[in-house]
Amino acid sequence: MVDPSAAPVGSSEAIADTGRRPMWHRVVLKMSGEALASSSAGETVDAAVVGRIAAEIAQAKREFDLELAIVVGGGNIWRGTEGAAAGMDRATSDAMGMLATVINALALQEALERVGQPTRVLSAIHMAEVAEPYIRRRAIRHLEKGRVVIFAAGMGNPYFTTDTSAALRAAEIEADVLLKGTHSGVDGVYSADPKVHEDAVRYDKIAFMDVVAKDLRVMDLTAVTFCKDNSLPVLVFDIMRPNNILRTLAGEDIGTLIT
């Protein structure tokens, strides 16, 4: 079998021929802001990295019958907790974080549309000049029309993260799954931190209860319990590895499925 990770994005070898159809029809993809940055070039938003992610998403939209919404974080620019730790008012610091997500959302939209994928940014904070307001029914309509929807500004409320925003939006639009793309080189949920414990093992599947009981730091706890309470499966995978978005959407068994 072709190693899909070795094939360039967009090549016919990019997706292993598993013969499987995508498992999900409506999907929310959560990516951290840091997935758009580059440590090597020192860029906060690296156009080449954003372009690679956009190319994969556009290819997945062309090849699979699926509706795709994205929630992007803002951690490459600002995190509310960091400002608060330095003595700032938390709500203001979080507002800065939410605005950071809008910058990332616009970067992603631009990259997606440059490769021909119609995209709408729906913001939880009103900023009519650059993004539509978040309206649930409008988001669903955009998805039905084949547009990629990017949810920006989190939930519009401080004291939350974009993991929780992604979980909430996924539930609201009745997505089949939340895909949580990691950027730290960890390709799923492990029994312990694999960077510290060499003998840590990766789970193919794990229950929400076990993620909570074992205190496995996959997403923030609010997001995990929300997904559990609302029976929303979460697939954790390494978004930085080329073609992994395609492989995940193709239904390949990569990462860890939390149910």
Listed ranges 140-148, 149-157, 201-209, 239-247: which one lies at the site for ligand UDP (CB under 6 A): 149-157
Hey, what are 73's tokens?
Answer: 């974080």
- How many binding residues for ligand UDP (CB under 6 A)? 23
Q: Any idea which residue has 């967009």 for tokens? A: 10
Using DSSP, state whether 245 is helix, strand or coil.
Answer: helix
Using the rule CB under 6 A, which residue among 109, 117, 123, 161 binds ligand UDP? 161
Binding pattern to ligand UDP, positions 8-37, x when CB under 6 A? ------------------------xxx---
Hey, what are 195's tokens?
Answer: 């960077």
The 3-state secondary structure of 145-195, one letter per residue? CCCEEEEECCCCCCCCCHHHHHHHHHHHCCCCEEEEEECCCCCCEECCCCC
Using the rule CB under 6 A, which residue among 10, 22, 133, 158 binds ligand UDP? 158
Choose between 189 and 250: whose C-beta lies nearer to ligand UDP: 189
Q: How far is CA 237 from the centre of its chain?
A: 10
Is residue 94 a contact point for ligand UDP (CB under 6 A)? Answer: yes
Find the binding residues for ligand UDP in span 192-221 (CB under 6 A): none
Using the rule CB under 6 A, which residue among 117, 162, 243, 248 binds ligand UDP? 162
Using DSSP, state whether 124 is helix, strand or coil.
Answer: coil
Binding pattern to ligand UDP, positions 109-148, x when CB under 6 A? ----------------------------------------
CB 67 within 8 A of CB 27: yes
End-to-end CA distance of the chain: 29
Residues that bind ligand UDP (CB under 6 A): 32-34, 73-75, 79-81, 94, 97-98, 100-101, 154-155, 157-158, 160-163, 165
